[in-house]
Amino acid sequence: MTDLTGKTALVTGSAQGIGLAVAKALAAAGARIAVHGLPGEAAADAACRELVEAGAPDAKFFGYNVMDPAAIDELAEDVAAWGGADILVNNAGIQHTAPLADMPPEKWEAIIAINLSSAFYTMRAMMPEMARRGYGRVVNIASVHGLVASKEKAPYVAAKFGLVGLSRVAALEYAAQGDKSKGGVTVNCIAPGWTETALIGPQIEARAAAHGGDRDAGIADLLAEKQPSQRISDPSEIGALALWLCSPVAHNVTGTTIPIDGGWTAQ
């Protein structure tokens, strides 16, 4: 198992879902976890306790709204004062589905801000210090929708395609930082397909309604349309890959986007 003793990881949107699963994987490897969510996040205390139980030597909540670049600067300063982030996982994200002509402009702005711009601001603030230390890992939670498009998801697809491109630029700029013994500085994306999280809850409910309220039938209908394996992923699977990307053996894996999508993007 990767040993992250002495490392600190900031995982945005980590009070629940994929973010919490990634944080738990890093915690089990010995990393301190900077838990992030909105100010006053109800699940924050429980998440911190769960991460300490998983193995983190410490877990602290940082409540900031990452729609606001100034708040992200404050977040970066607070994490730096706590010891700085050796690992940054940009996971915070929201979704809204609607046809292009009906997409509310405020939804476009919010999705781009949280799913894309926030990653730019966190990376801009934290990667120079990673380079100085000679070790850094940025794992951006993208989506299959950063590789292929779907109808009624214009801002989400635009944001995730942008996140993949942003990650490639950062990977190139920092590729020669650090050395093999320290681990270097890498930037990669994970692109989940259908994963059991609250984010896809409304889509599952809509499909279930078409099947008389049968949730399992709704999930099966959703998977059959795009995901050839017809198996939904568990957030812990994304956590396991994120942990591997943080290991020393992954020092030359940078600028990649790795799907966990049951063959969705192979079609």
195 - beta bridge partners? 233
159 located within any domain: yes
Catalytic residue list: 156
| Domain co-membership, 157 together with 227 | no
Six token digits for residue 15: 């009070």
pLDDT band at 254 (very low <50, low <70, confident <90, very high): very high
**pLDDT tens digit sequence for 129-165:** 999 999 999 999 999 999 999 999 999 999 999 999 9
266 located within any domain: no
| Domain co-membership, 131 together with 186 | yes
Structure confidence at residue 201 (pLDDT):
82
Cβ pair 207, 219 in contact under 8 A: yes
Mean pLDDT score, 101-126: 98
Percent of the chain with pLDDT over 70: 100
This prediction's pTM: 0.95
155 located within any domain: yes
**pLDDT tens digit sequence for 29-53:** 999 999 999 999 999 999 999 999 9
| Domain co-membership, 172 together with 200 | no
Number of domains in the chain: 2
| Domain co-membership, 155 together with 108 | yes
**Structural domain range at position 203:** 194-232
265 located within any domain: no
Gyration radius (Cα) of the chain, Å: 18
Mean pLDDT score, 171-199: 94
| Domain co-membership, 31 together with 150 | yes
| Domain co-membership, 100 together with 220 | no
| Domain co-membership, 62 together with 148 | yes
